[in-house]
């Protein structure tokens, strides 16, 4: 176990009055981030072991902390995954399931947990790259069996390399959103019972998206069960099946107040499927008036944007977004939408952060209490004097102001694909996992912080 981190910061204070000026300094505690190595990983691209900040791979309940990860990643070609559990608040982990005997996957499964403490893993498989026909495996690890005998149900919903899930406690269902590869009449939003039965499937996107196709999905949910389905898009013409330029043209979301039956966009109730790019009726996330974030398709100087939606949360009646990348100009930005008025009323760009932390690397996610009405945290990566760190910021006023919560000391290697549990632990810890390469070895690490 590594306890990495700065424990205090000093701030200079000054004030002016009619009687003169006064200055002082104060030193305040900066909470530590505790880091635990879980397992070493291999493969041609081992750093992808924790791929994906947009789907949840870490959960906690009264029986422990659970982490899913790939252990032999080969650039999304068939890989296998493990589930590790900690019963000592993250100080140590034990592997409780190795899926090596199961169908291979493209990336680690998403995890969810329910009020009874059961743990669910949603694992799209990858055997032949036939994404529309390969099954997704639904795993249920029961608390009453001490998570030792998972029920595994193949779901005939196709598969995907990029996906997102959310547990809806108001309906006791797990919602899933897939990247649909632009396939016509292929459902990509699903609701699944906790026993593994698909009870709803929706084709959200048309096969024709004039400027860019929906790709990286991201789900979040409000306490009343309103589901928010977000995604980034890719200019497929620029991408040219991998031979061209990587890009993420823009980012959008739609909402459903009734579990996927009705969907709402910028102008009200939608007729689905819809175009998923800027020609369609979904809500837009990036600042289209800011040329550092967005250049219109086909405009002068346009060679692709990069507005990858990486963090998405509902908190205190607002939607919070973290998105960005290197184009048109480098940005990893924050935006807040007041959901009642459907108005984006707060932006931080080009770099989101606070008190010396600027999240200038890809990846990161929000975390908060399950009630979604208190403090909101964000965890991401940033560089300090050329060395990578893990940073946590928080807001107590629904995203109006942000403060440093915790930061790591200089990390000796890379720190990639940071992912958090969307809900804090019962004792208020922010938890998550990432991949790090140190001393020629790649490993999966767990982190936690009280970040008070």
Mean pLDDT of the chain: 88
| Cα dist from 419 to 60, 113, 234, 445, whole Å | 14, 16, 22, 11
423-433 pLDDT per residue, tens = 999 999 999 99
Q: In this structure, how many other beta carbons lie within 10 angstroms of the beta carbon of residue 313?
A: 23
* Residue among 319, 209, 341 at smallest CA distance from 266: 341
Buried b (16+ CB within 10 A) or exposed e, 96-114: bbebeebbbbbbbbbbbbb
pLDDT band at 411 (very low <50, low <70, confident <90, very high): low
Residue 184 has pLDDT above 80, yes or no: no
State the pLDDT at residue 33.
85
Residue 17 has pLDDT above 50, yes or no: no
367-381 pLDDT per residue, tens = 999 999 999 999 999
Q: Enter the pTM of the model.
A: 0.92
Sequence-separated (6 or more) residues with CB below 8 Å from residue 106? 76, 77, 78, 79, 124, 125, 126, 159, 160, 161
Identify whether the C-beta of residue 306 lies closer than 8 Å to the C-beta of residue 325.
yes
- List the single range of 15-24, 130-139, 264-273, 343-352 with lowest mean pLDDT: 15-24
Distance CA 14, CA 85 (A): 49
State the pLDDT at residue 181.
60
State the pLDDT at residue 9.
42
Identify whether the C-beta of residue 323 lies closer than 8 Å to the C-beta of residue 310.
yes
Over range 443-447, report the average pLDDT. Answer: 93
Q: Dihedral, CA atoms, 384, 346, 189, 45, nearest 10 degrees?
A: -10
Over range 350-357, report the average pLDDT. Answer: 94
Over range 202-230, report the average pLDDT. Answer: 93
* 3 state DSSP class of 273: coil
Tell me what percent of the residues of the chain surpass a pLDDT of 90. Answer: 66
35-81 pLDDT per residue, tens = 899 999 887 778 788 887 778 999 999 999 999 998 876 666 678 89
- List the single range of 85-94, 246-255, 411-420 with lowest mean pLDDT: 411-420
Range from 154-158, 245-249, 281-285 that averages highest in pLDDT: 281-285
Which of the pair, 163 or 127, is modelled with greater confidence?
Answer: 163
Identify whether the C-beta of residue 125 lies closer than 8 Å to the C-beta of residue 159.
yes
State the pLDDT at residue 160.
86
State the pLDDT at residue 45.
78
Residue 291 has pLDDT above 50, yes or no: yes
State the pLDDT at residue 43.
79
104-114 pLDDT per residue, tens = 887 899 999 99
Residue 395 has pLDDT above 90, yes or no: yes
Over range 283-294, report the average pLDDT. Answer: 98
* 3 state DSSP class of 47: helix
Residue 25 has pLDDT above 50, yes or no: no
Sequence-separated (6 or more) residues with CB below 8 Å from residue 130? none
State the pLDDT at residue 233.
95
pLDDT band at 438 (very low <50, low <70, confident <90, very high): confident
Over range 264-281, report the average pLDDT. Answer: 96
pLDDT band at 440 (very low <50, low <70, confident <90, very high): confident
* Residue among 272, 294, 293, 291 at smallest CA distance from 281: 272
Distance CA 38, CA 70 (A): 12
Over range 176-205, report the average pLDDT. Answer: 87
Domain made up of 37-449: CATH architecture: 7 Propeller (2.130)
State the pLDDT at residue 412.
56
Tell me what percent of the residues of the chain surpass a pLDDT of 70. Answer: 87
Buried b (16+ CB within 10 A) or exposed e, 404-428: bbbbbbebebbbbbbbbbbbbbeee
Give the chain's largest Cα–Cα span. 78
Residue 88 has pLDDT above 80, yes or no: yes
Residue 23 has pLDDT above 80, yes or no: no
Over range 429-449, report the average pLDDT. Answer: 89
pLDDT band at 130 (very low <50, low <70, confident <90, very high): low
Over range 199-203, report the average pLDDT. Answer: 95
pLDDT band at 182 (very low <50, low <70, confident <90, very high): low
Burial class (CB in 10 A: 0-12, 13-18, 19+), 331: buried
Every domain of the chain and the residues it spans: 37-449
Tokens coding 181? 């590869």
């Amino acid at each position: 176990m590594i306890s990495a981190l700065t424990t205090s910061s000093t701030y200079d204070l000054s004030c002016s009055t009619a009687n003169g000026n006064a200055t002082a300094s104060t030193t305040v505690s900066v909470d530590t981030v505790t880091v635990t190595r879980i397992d070493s990983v291999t493969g041609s691209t081992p750093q992808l072991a924790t791929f994906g900040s947009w789907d949840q791979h870490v959960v906690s309940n009264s029986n422990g902390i659970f982490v899913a990860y790939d252990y032999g990643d080969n650039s999304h070609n068939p890989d296998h995954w493990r589930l590790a559990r900690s019963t000592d608040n993250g100080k140590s982990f034990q592997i409780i399931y190795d899926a090596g005997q199961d169908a291979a996957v493209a990336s680690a499964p998403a995890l969810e947990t329910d009020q009874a403490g059961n743990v669910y893993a949603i694992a799209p498989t990858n055997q032949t790259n036939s994404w529309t026909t390969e099954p997704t495996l639904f795993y249920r690890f029961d608390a009453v069996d001490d998570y030792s005998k998972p029920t595994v149900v193949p779901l005939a919903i196709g598969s995907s390399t990029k996906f997102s899930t959310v547990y809806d406690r108001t309906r006791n269902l797990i919602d899933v959103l897939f990247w649909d590869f632009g396939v016509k009449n292929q459902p990509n939003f699903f609701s699944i019972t906790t026993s593994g039965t698909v009870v709803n499937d929706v084709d959200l996107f048309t096969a024709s998206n004039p400027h860019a196709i929906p790709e990286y999905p991201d789900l979040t949910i409000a306490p009343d069960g309103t589901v928010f389905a977000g995604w980034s898009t890719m200019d497929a013409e620029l991408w040219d099946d991998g031979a061209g330029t990587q890009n993420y043209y823009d980012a959008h979301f739609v909402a459903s107040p009734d579990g996927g039956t009705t969907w709402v966009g910028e102008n009200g109730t939608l007729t689905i499927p819809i175009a998923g790019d800027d020609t369609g009726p979904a809500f837009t996330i990036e600042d289209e008036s800011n040329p550092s974030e967005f250049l219109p398709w086909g405009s002068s100087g346009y060679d692709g944007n990069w507005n990858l939606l990486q963090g998405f949360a509902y908190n205190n009646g607002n939607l919070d977004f973290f998105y960005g990348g290197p184009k048109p100009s480098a940005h990893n930005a924050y935006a807040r939408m007041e959901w009642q008025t459907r108005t984006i009323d707060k932006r931080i760009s080009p770099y989101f952060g606070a008190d010396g932390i600027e999240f200038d690397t890809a990846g990161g996610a929000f975390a908060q209490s399950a009630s979604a009405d208190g403090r909101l945290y964000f965890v991401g990566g940033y560089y300090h004097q050329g060395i990578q760190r893990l940073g946590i910021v928080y807001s107590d006023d629904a995203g109006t102001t942000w403060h440093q919560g915790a930061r790591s000391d200089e990390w000796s290697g890379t720190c990639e694909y940071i992912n958090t549990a969307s809900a804090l632990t019962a004792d208020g810890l922010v938890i998550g996992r990432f991949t790090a390469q140190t001393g020629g070895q790649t490993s999966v690490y767990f982190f936690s912080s009280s970040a008070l």
